Amino acid sequence: MRVILAPRRAAAIALRNPEALVVDYDGQCIRRGADRIVLGKGRKPTQLFRICVAMCCSVGRSISREDLLDAMFGDDPYGGPLHAESVLAKNLTHTRPFRAWAGLTIARSIMGRIEVSETAPRRHAHGASFRISLHGVWPVGVAA
């Protein structure tokens, strides 16, 4: 799986590379061709967006829980909440629709690491483009 980190013009890059996952930091979404998943809104990247990007960049390898926690709370001057492990577990549960769309599976392995592997991507019940938040999943209009 090819992952492209695109700071600008992510929609055009995604259309030129329909099989690659294109990470759009401005729109906090991940695109594949004309489809996209929105994982946040506003200027600050959400924890869900950061976890999904970390999983995309770790396909075929394992990633430690500490690395995921660092991805979520790395820029927090206080280091994140005291219950960071439960926040991570909750966010990993909320990535299920994204993982199905992107064709990723995770398996917990020994020593607290998570194995990220590639499978065949599936269409989501909400269509090709949708938004994920901690409050649920809903369709997004035509992907731009």
pLDDT tens, 93-119? 888 888 888 888 888 877 778 898 888
Q: What is the CATH number of the domain that holds 93?
A: 1.10.10.10
Kindly report the average pLDDT of the chain as a whole number: 81
Residue 48 falls inside a structural domain: yes
- Residue 8 is predicted with a pLDDT of 79
- Residue 41 is predicted with a pLDDT of 73
What range defines the domain where residue 87 resides? Answer: 3-139
At residue 137 the predicted structure's pLDDT band, cuts being 50, 70 and 90, is low
**pLDDT (mean) for 62-84:** 87
Alpha-carbon Rg for the chain, nearest whole angstrom, is 15
- Residue 143 is predicted with a pLDDT of 41
Q: How many domains does the chain have?
A: 1
Task: Dump the DSSP string for the chain.
Answer: --EEEESS-HHHHHHH-TTSEEEETTTTEEEETTEEEE---SSSPPHHHHHHHHHHTTTTSEEEHHHHHHHHHTT-TT-S-TTHHHHHHHHHHHTHHHHHHHTEEEEE-GGGEEEEEE-----BTTBSSEEEETTEEEE-SS--
Residue 144 falls inside a structural domain: no
pLDDT tens, 12-58? 888 888 888 899 888 888 888 888 888 877 666 788 888 989 998 89
